[in-house]
Amino acid sequence: MALSGADSGGAGVLAASFGVVAQPIPVESHIVTVATGEWPPYVTQAGPHHGPMAQVIDHVFNDAGYQIKYIFQPWKRSKQMVLEGNADILMPAYCSPDRSEIYLCSDAVITGKLVLFHRIDMPLASDETNMRLLMKGRIQLYPQDKAVGFAMLHHLYPPNRWSEITSSLGVRC
């Protein structure tokens, strides 16, 4: 798998890299174990062929002579399985700088559009209100241009508080 996809905007697959924890897939086994969880409609135990992302993975590996074994479980357990060498692939996953230090990241297998859902009957808070709520721990995130967000953070709070905020999603695994 190519080490890429960090900025691809889509979900791909991750495999433990450089034998840090997991070993390369033995050719003689011809079985690739995929640790995954429910992420409908892309990956699901209930759907036909486990969903469209699993279909792509099946097709690619089957053409190379491998069989796929899916293990559906919570995300944290799936990550641990790959890190301990009990699974070969973790999917679906967005690659991040932190993750690319641990895993080999594929190119995006699927692409989608990330959006924020909100109640139509509730007005959206102002940027300043959102920054204050974020600093108080009342909300987990809010959308903002990166430069504008940092300018607002620097305007509203002293330097000793700046390290409480990050501007990147998916950096922490």
3-state secondary structure of 102: helix
Give 170's pLDDT tier (boundaries 50, 70, 90): very low
pLDDT of residue 47: 72
CATH 3.40.50.720 corresponds to the domain 10-111: no
Q: Please, what sign has the CA dihedral across residues 56, 52, 141, 146?
A: positive
Place of tokens 């990330």: 114
**What does the domain layout of the chain look like in residue ranges?**
10-111, 115-173
**pLDDT tens, position by position, 33-74:** 999 999 999 999 997 799 999 999 999 999 999 999 999 999
pLDDT of residue 129: 94
Torsion of CA 52, 53, 54, 59, to 10 degrees: 90
**pLDDT tens, position by position, 75-105:** 999 999 999 999 999 999 888 888 888 888 8
CA 153 to CA 144: how far, in whole Å?
Answer: 11
pLDDT of residue 25: 55
**Do 41 and 47 touch, CB atoms closer than 8 A?**
yes
User: Amino acid letter at 45?
Assistant: Q
Place of tokens 């230090």: 101
pLDDT of residue 62: 94
